[in-house]
Amino acid sequence: MDVLDSTEKSIGFFFVQVKSTAAALSLSKTLHLDVDMHKFNKLATIPIPTFLIGVDTQTERAYVVAARRAILTAFSSITKKYDLIHDAVRVGLYKEVAQYWRMYKPGLLKARTQFANER
């Protein structure tokens, strides 16, 4: 997914894996998902910002967690603390991705932007 500035110019991008469930418990602080360890680890080892988004299909709410490092065992839930319905969570996600591209990979983003402009 691309992150755009106010002029709709790409300032970075990130990858997500989306998992959903219809069996969520509404009062629970976690969203129960079956997360495959190998798929998650592939996501976590991509050298750009990566996230897992869990969707409760009953409430149509989505929750995000960062996929920053490989895991040793599969896991079955994620926190509901970072609900994408909240502006602060979406702004935090935007800032995290923008900061990454600004600080760590400016050359790669520039090359990607030039390639996109040539198409």
Q: What is the pLDDT of residue 117?
A: 43
- Residues 54-65 have a mean pLDDT of 94
pLDDT at 111 over 60: no
Cβ contacts of 39 within 8 Å, gap of 6 or more:
17
Cβ contacts of 50 within 8 Å, gap of 6 or more:
14, 15, 16, 17, 43, 44, 66, 67, 68
Q: What is the pLDDT of residue 57?
A: 92
pTM attached to this predicted model? 0.80
Distance separating alpha carbons of residues 114 and 18, to the nearest angstrom: 29
For 33-53, the pLDDT digits (tens) are 988 899 999 999 998 999 999
